[in-house]
Copies of this chain bind each other. A is one copy, B any other.
Amino acid sequence: MKNANVTITDVAKRAGVSTATVGRVVGGYGTVSGKTRDRVLAAIDQLGYAPNVVAQGLRSKRTKTIAVIIGSVSNSFFANMVNAIENEAAEYGYNVIICNTNEEPETERKHIKNLQGRMIDGIILSSACTAVSAEQLREFYSGDVPMVLVDRRVEGLELDVIESDNFAAGYKTTNYLLALGHRRIGVLGTGNYSTINDRIAGYQKALADRRIELVPRRVMTTIRRKNHYNDIEIDNYFLANRDVTAIMVLNNSLAEAVLLRLEKLKLYDDRTFSIVCWDDSSMNKLLGLTTVLQFPEEIGREAARRVIGKIEKRTLPGEGIGLVGTELKIRRSCKPL
């Protein structure tokens, strides 16, 4: 890549004007006569001048950069979200820096610390922390840099959040299974994030609506150890819950592990029960799995607009939606009882 060696001074010399004037036409502020503008433009073109964003940043405190902090870009939900963020940001001339936390609060802390010195204009955060103490809060966020939360809420962080309507999703999915006649419905999820908790809350509400007893052992939310799942735990769940006739698997990554175990246990082949998954994939399509579709692209797009709006202190068109809907895509993995 060519280096940005040609500076505003070179352009000024070439055009026979001062650097201030060049700055005016490049930055589009102040007033410049048509004639000099043309001359400057010509010089810029001839020299192939591109403004040095770093110098601009140092001077103006704006680096046209936003950071996205997520668990991992390998997660397809985040990948699609980041993709949308990047596309949207590019529209507005922003670059995006990605930071993987691997879902470790400590790594998240490090990234934020590192970002301190980078004069980032804004942050989009899907935090690995489920709750933040007052003290941490100060370290994490003191209001200088615009920040929006995505996908998950964080207790103690009063910030804009763009997230799926997880409660509604859990509620309508459970109702769908209930309508098919299922009464003993299992739930498997991972982590203590608001996403999972909201979905489970929706599930509970649906049961309560029909005065159906909630059996705690049917809800399991801790099946992970460092990015891979514990097969034994999954097996034990199914052994202890042979009575369930339907299950909801709240994570896309978990679904694969569960199905693999079910195949081993010869449970899924027997069509012993119905199953609903979260987040679509080629697997879900090919296997005909009924799936709750989220729209990470929409969440990403909106999050990008939201931060950029805050950065530029203006309202971007379409801004305002914090809750993004979901769709229950019915395929053939749920049967009436």
Contacts and interface: CB of A to CB of B under 8 A. Distances in A.
A140 B1 CA distance: 5
Contacts of A5: 144
Contact of A1 (B73, B76, B142): B142
A115 to B, nearest CB: 6
Given A4-B119, A286-B263, A98 B114 contact: no
Interface stretch (A16-24, A46-54, A189-197, A201-209): A46-54
Interface residues of A, number: 62
A87 interface: yes
Interface in A50-81: 50-55, 57-58, 63, 65, 72-74, 76, 79-80
B99 A97 contact: no
A281 B74 CA distance: 12
A321 interface: no
Contacts of A3: 116, 142, 144-145
A95 B97 contact: yes
Contact of A117 (B4, B260, B282): B4
A304 interface: no
B58 A55 contact: yes
A283 interface: yes
Interface in A1-57: 1-5, 50-55, 57
A255 interface: yes
A50 B98 contact: no
Contacts of A263: 286
A265 interface: no
A74 to B, nearest CB: 4
15 contacts: A1-B141, A1-B145, A4-B116, A4-B119, A50-B117, A51-B117, A52-B58, A54-B57, A90-B100, A90-B111, A95-B118, A97-B98, A259-B282, A282-B283, A283-B283
Contact of A260 (B76, B87, B90, B286): B286
Contacts of A86: 73, 98-100
Contact of A120 (B1, B50, B117): B1
A75 to B, nearest CB: 8
Contacts of A283: 281-283, 286-287
Interface in A91-145: 93, 95-100, 111-120, 123, 139-142, 144-145
A82 interface: yes
Given A1-B120, A76-B76, 12 more contacts: A1-B142, A2-B141, A50-B113, A51-B117, A54-B119, A55-B58, A73-B73, A73-B86, A86-B100, A97-B98, A255-B282, A263-B286
A99 B83 CA distance: 9
Nearest to A146: B1
Contacts of A120: 1
A78 to B, nearest CB: 8
A1 B147 contact: yes
A147 B141 CA distance: 35
